[in-house]
Structures are given as C-alpha cells and as structure tokens.
Chain A
Amino acid sequence: MSAKRILIVDDDADIREATQLCLEITGQWEVLMAENGIEGLAIAQFEKPSAILLDMMLPGMDGMTVLKKLRENSETEKIPIVILTAKAQTNEKKVFDQLRVAAVITKPYDPMTISDQIASALSTSDLV
C-alpha cells in the first residue's frame, strides 16, 4: 500500500508537517506537500497523487478556486479530494457536493484519526 500518495495543500508549515507525520506513520501514505494553491495544482497535475487533502483558507488562490480548477482539468478531475476547513458554509457544502468532494474534515482535526477518516472517505468515494 506504500505506493498510495496523497498531496497536502496547506499554507501553514506546522500543520503540513504534523499532517504529514500522521499520514505517513498511521496511514502509511507517501506524502507530497504544497504550500499554496498554484503549487498544489502543479503538483497534482504532474504527480497525479491518489488523493488530495486541501485546505480552504489559502493565501492568494483560495481553496475553493483550487478545487474548481482541479475538477476542470481532465488530468486531475478524478482525483479524490478531502477538504480541510475551519467551518464549511452552507453554500460551500453545495459546491463540495457538486464537485464530488470525498469528505470535509473540520479543523482542527484529530491527528490520531485523520488517516482513518481519509481512508474511510476514499473507500466510499465513487472516484476511487
């Protein structure tokens, strides 16, 4: 299962690092990281990870724009995406559904279960 790769897009270096640890150790994922949306889009296109963990509050290009661009691109449209957000607004939830988001995880997340949450979301995602 070590071939499974996940891309974390989060501007906070501490959160990126903590998430990386949890996913690598608990979930045995290979982790790719991007600190902004543009970097995230580029890595997603060229590395084609098995899943993307996307923070909504990003500097510059925000998470929602990144999500839409990922879905518009034929090379990334089928990658399962898990959203990280402090609080999902009602209008955002509708967009998440339309854009076939695999799961929405509220920040701050529980580091001991995030790997299970992602695994569970991806096992039921129609994009897998």
Chain B
Amino acid sequence: MRILLVEDDESVAKILHKVLTDEHYTVDVAHSGHIGWQLVSASDYNLIILDVLLPELDGIEFCRQLRAEKYTMPVLFVTALDASSKKIAGFNAGADDYITKPFELEELLARVRALLRRVNTSVVLAFEWENLRLEVNSRELTYRGQQLLLTPKEHAMVELFLRNPGQVFSRQAIIDNLWSYSDAPGEETVTSHIKGLRRKLKNAGAPADCIETVYGVGYRLKPLKAESLPAESPRSEDSKAIELQGADSNVVEARYRQTKAALATLWKSVKCQQNARLAILQQAREQIQTGSLAKELRKSAYRSSHSLAGVLGIFGFTEGSECAKQIQLLLEGEVPISPGDRLRLVESIEALEKILDEAIAQQENTDAKTTTAPLLVLIDPQLEITSLLVTTLWSKGVTVKVFHQVEDLSKMLSFESANTSADLEKTAISAQSERILPDVVLLESSFSSNFDEPDFNKPNFNELESASKITPQSTLDNTSDSTSKVQPLSALDALLHRVPSLMLLICSADGSLSNRVKATQLGDYLFFCSPDVARVVKTIELLRSHPPSLSHKILAVDDDPQILQALQTRLAQRNYQVVTLDEPLNFWETLQAENPDLLLLDISMPQFTGIELCQTVRQAPDWRHLPIVFFTANTDKHLHQAAFRAGANNLIEKSLPDAQLLAHLSRQMKRSHIQQAIAAVDCSLSSSLS
C-alpha cells in the first residue's frame, strides 16, 4: 500500500515515515504542498496523510484541489490545530479523518488501517492464495499455518501479489508500488527479490512456480485452477478485467490506447499501398470479364488479396478482410476458374473496392476531427521534472520520447541530410516526419549552457520583418542550414521549421532575460520559468486539445491576373490552397467568404492600394490577427515602411525563388496558427487558475 505523507516539519515527517515503513507501507514524503501535488499527479496513492499548515499550498486547499480533480483516495489530516472550525474546514474540503497533535502513534496506525479498509468495499481480514495467507491486521504471513520469515521487501511483494490476484506486475510496476521515489532501485533488484522469495516459499513447501513469470510482461501469483477458488471469489482464471485492476491498470490501459493511436497513425501511411493492391485486383477483374485471366496476374492478384485480408483485418476493417479472403480463396491454385466463380470474383472485387473507398474516406474524416499536433517540450535538467513528467504523461496515454541532444531528434527524423534549400523545400510541408513523432517529445537540455548564444549579427525570423532587411540573401541565411556544423539552437530552429505543426513548450529553470531572448529566436512559443509537473501536464493537455490549424489557405490579391496565375501554380504544387482576386473592389466579400489563413497583397493596385486594404483588415476585430504579407516588385523603401506601418507582417519580393517564398509563407502561417493555439491555451489556463 502506497502512502503519501505531506508534512513540512522534517522531524515529524521522519518519525511518521519510520513508523509507517515499519508497518510495510511504501511511503513518499513531500515537504510542501506543491511537491505533494506533483507526486499525486505522478503516482497512485492509497492514502494521503496531510498536514494542515504547509508552505505555499496549505493542506485544506490541497485537499480541495484533490477532490476537484476527482482523486478519491482517503485523506487523513494530521495537525496541531485543534480548533473545530479548522476541522470542519478540513472535512468540507474532502478529508476523511482528522487527528490532532500530539497523538499516540498506535492511534495513527489504527486510523490509517481503518481508512485503507474503507478503500475495499468489504472488510477483508486476510488474503489467501492456495495455502499462503496474509493477516491484514497483524500482517503475519504464513504457508500451511507456518510463519514465513521474509525481508520487509519480500513481504511487501507477496502482499502486493495477494492483494491483486491475477494481475501481472512488470518490474517497473513493482518498483513503483514498493519503493518510494527517493530510493527506487534498478529493475535487477526486483529480479533478485523475486528469486529470494521463490526460494523461501519453496522451502516452506509452496510450488516452485507459485510466482509465475509472464513472459515479456512481468510477474504474478500463478492463477489457481477454477475448482480451487473460493466459491465467493468474483474472479476467473484469466479474467482480463481482473488484470486491469489496481495500480498497474493505468499503465496497461495507457499501452492499449497508445497501440490504438499508433495503429491509426500507421494506417494513414499504409492505406495508399492498399489501393495499389486493389489496382492489381481491378486488373484481374477486367481480364476475368473478358474471359482470360493471365497466369502471372492471377498469382499476383492472389498475393494481393492475401495481403489485403491480413492488413485490413489488423487495422480493424473486418468486412474488407473477409471480402479479400473470399477473393483469395477463389483465386487459389491454377485450375481454370468456373463461370460461377468468375462472377463471384467480379462481385467480390467490386465489393472490396467499395469497402476500401469507404474505409479510407471514413478514416480521413476521423483524422480531420482528431488530428493533434506533435509537441516538443524543452526541459532544463535543473528542474528535475523529466522523470515525473514522463510517468504522468505515460499514465494519461500520451506517447512520449526523451532526447538529450537536438541532433538525435533530427537524426530520428532523417533531417541531417537536408542541407540544401531544395531539400528544405521537400521537407518543409511534408507531414511524413509528423507520422513518426510521438505525441510529445521531451528534449532535456540546458537552455542556458548547451545552447549557443544568439548571434545578433545574423538576421533571425523576427528581424526579417523589418523592411530594411528584406533581401533574398537574408532569407536564405535564416531558413537553410547549409553550414557543415549545425549549432544546437539553429538545429532546433531548423527542426521547428521543418515540422510545420510542431509546437514548442520551453521549461526553463532560469527566467533570465538572456534565456528569454534565446527563446524568442525560436519564434512564438510558450516559455515557463520553473514550472511544476502539474502545470506542464495541464499545458500539454491544453495544447493537445487546441492544436494549431493545419489549413494553408491563401487569399492573393493582385491586379495582374498573370501574376496570380503563376503564383497559384507555384503554391498549388506545395499543397497550398490559393484563392486569387484581381479585382480589389470585391476584396471584402471575398475575404469574408473564403476565410483565408494568410493574405498576400500587391502594393500598387487601381481603386484600392494594398496598403489601404491592409489598414482596413487591421481595423476589423475579426481579422486583426490575420497574417498579411506584401508581395511586390517595388523597391521603394518608403513604400515598404508604409506597408509595415499599415500592419503588414512581412514583405517579400516577387522575384524571390520558390523555396524562399514558400519558407516565408510557411513560417508566417505557422506563427499565426501557433499564436492562436497559445491564445486559446492562455485563456484556458487563466480560467482554470481563477
């Protein structure tokens, strides 16, 4: 049983820790409410013992937040405050019991036992497996009535298995349950304890395999044969439901969720291959209809149907899988296909065609509704939150991968070879890299020491917005890493650029101006100074529920239809949706109707100039945040300055090569999308804190 003790008085905490661990409880101690909250977020506790007067977050508020977050474990207040009003406040906040200092340790232990009993729906006096018996109150462990002399950890391990019959515990899960965070050992320690325990149980007469190794998973008490189970036992030998109970169930459930999510992601990248397989079947159908199916095509169609049956079945398209199996069966062998089977083959291939179309359409529809952006969290190791963060995110079904070097992350995404602007162009919009990313990438690297100092002589993205510095060369410097040695900050910058929807959350231990300036080099992202795990987790959850839009719709306004036509051709190749307008008089209606993600404006136009249109957009509350980029051949600096005064985000030359034009637009849209996502998160965080 795992207990969290939140007590700021170290001497009291020390005594209580000793008394409780002597009783074989696993105890984590937190000396402040904030640390206690981080531990609660990261682990499952059976009971919380809480001091009322705590620094930062007091016990009553702590308890209130626990209940607000739907934590149901019992809470026992231990405090020197004897006033009834405090007791009432404690109970109102959701406490289950209250003990006033000074108190007898025996009374405290009795209350702890009573509260832990309440967790179970019925009062259990002893736990049993075959002839192994654990008395709950005395904690005596016996086999065939003979007392077993075990070490405290071996004793706790047996208790864990007895309390969770049938449940498989991985070595890490055993560590999580039986050791406190401060003294967690390596997994080999568990192996050694298991060996010792097996030996002692065997010496006492228990079967050698009573603690069973579930290959590749973990350990459990070997399930008893059905007839030897007590009649009132609610469990069955291999009941999955039982396996999902208890402290390990969250991890198991999280893994199932992750597997499902990973399979859904994988389907996106393999579904096109299924169309290729279907195409072979369609060819075969055509030949069948004309009366002669070539031998080679028959073999090829047989293999395609076999593959489709397997793949569709695995990805959950059962009907398609069955249909493919039917086709496989009809194509099997080399004997001529009968007229009846030919007809069945044609019908089955047509049916499969329809099913596959629907499966892909349905999946795309679901994708559009559920897509979340990958998230990169840069964590300063000094914060010492990475381990807790991984555990917490893992338990919430969020896939996480930890890196210590940005280069390693780049290598995983195969970016190290993309050194030319042509390569960059290829990777800029591709969603390929997003497919292999987990939900959250944690990059544990010190922002203050490992990342290079900002080079103020080198134009960065923000500086590019200054009209006087817009030149093709400066753009190239900023967007392509053509240097042989990639510096960490620029490598991270390049990474963020190449994965269009990648969001960044920076958790710095040091909120100095220097670090904040470094962070701005990377663009508009969230910057936290010394956040706790709960805050980071909450933000990650919010960012995942407010992903930046992946839409890339541009409204281009220019009085020259030929320029618009050329622009449309250039951008359409990169999957941008371009709406063109050569008549500025219709601008407002078009803007409202098309709802673009970016506005591309020529400066000099008849009727209304681009600058006038820009000012008009900036005055409208609904459109104030729309990114506006001027696209001009005019080199008059005064005109450029006027464009920025009117509210332009950027100004680029019409002669800019495609790669640089795309890099500019991509960055501008990403920045806008990220700002919107951050605004939504800020709004949610403010309302949750208020």
- Chain A residues in contact with chain B, CB under 8 A? 1, 4, 6, 12, 14-15, 17-19, 21-22, 25-29, 50-51, 57, 86, 107-109, 111-112, 115, 118-120, 122-123, 128
B208-261 residues with Cβ-Cβ distance < 8 A to A are 212-218, 238, 255-256, 258-260
**Residue on A nearest B243 in the bound complex, by CB:** A116
Chain B residues with CB under 8 Å of chain A are 170-171, 212-218, 238, 255-256, 258-260, 262-263, 266, 270, 273-274, 306-307, 309-315, 321, 325, 328
Q: List, in ascending order, chain B residues with CB within 8 A of A18's CB.
A: 263, 266, 270, 311, 314-315
A122 touches B216 (CB 8 A): yes
Most buried by A among B215, B217, B262: B215
* Chain B at the A interface: SS class: helix
- Some 12 contacts from A to B, beta carbons below 8 A apart, are A1-B170, A12-B311, A14-B273, A17-B266, A18-B311, A27-B217, A86-B306, A86-B325, A86-B328, A111-B315, A119-B215, A123-B213
Beta-carbon contact of B216 and A4 below 8 Å: yes
Query: A111, A112, A128 — which one has the most chain B CB atoms within 10 A of its CB?
Result: A111
Chain A residue numbers with a CB within 8 Å of B171 are 1
B314 and A28 within 8 A (CB): no
Chain B min CB distance to A33 (Å): 14
- How far is B312's CA from A109's CA once the two chains are assembled, in angstroms? 10
A24–chain B nearest beta-carbon distance, Å:
9
Given contacts A108-B312, A108-B314, A128-B215, contact A12 B256 (CB under 8 A): no
Query: A108–B259 contact, CB under 8 A?
Result: no
Q: Is the CB of A107 within 8 A of B310?
A: yes
* CB atoms of A14 and B263 under 8 A apart: no
Report Cα–Cα, A118/B215, bound state, in Å. Answer: 8
- CB within 8 A of B259: which of A4, A22, A119? A22
Contact of B218 among A1, A21, A29, A109 (CB under 8 A): A1
Bound Cα distance A119, B309 (Å): 25
Q: Is A26 in contact with B256, judged by CB distance below 8 angstroms?
A: yes
Question: Which residues of the other chain, B, contact A25 by a CB distance below 8 angstroms?
Answer: 255, 258-259, 262
B327 to chain A, nearest CB (A): 13
Instruction: Please measure, in the bound complex, the distance between the C-alpha atom of A12 and the C-alpha atom of B276, giving whole angstroms.
Output: 14
Assuming A14-B307, A17-B270, is B215 touching A123 (CB within 8 A)?
yes
With contact pairs A1-B217, A122-B215, A128-B215 given, residues A14 and B311 touching in the complex (Cβ less than 8 Å): yes
Other A-B pairs beyond A22-B263, A29-B216, A119-B214, 10, CB < 8 Å = A1-B170, A12-B310, A17-B266, A18-B263, A25-B255, A25-B258, A27-B216, A28-B217, A109-B314, A123-B213
User: B residues within 8 A CB of A21?
Assistant: 259, 262-263, 266
B255 partner residues in chain A, CB cutoff 8 A: 25-26, 28
User: How far is A1 from B217 in the complex, measured between Cα atoms in Å?
Assistant: 7
A1 CB, nearest partner CB in chain B, Å: 6
5 smallest CB-CB distances across A and B, nearest first, come from: A108-B313, A122-B215, A14-B270, A4-B216, A25-B259
How far, in angstroms, from A6 to B217 measured CA to CA in the complex? 13
Determine the residue in chain B with the shortest Cβ distance to A122. B215
Give complex CA distance A26, B252 in Å: 7
Q: Report chain B residues within 8 Å CB of A14.
A: 266, 270, 273-274, 307, 311
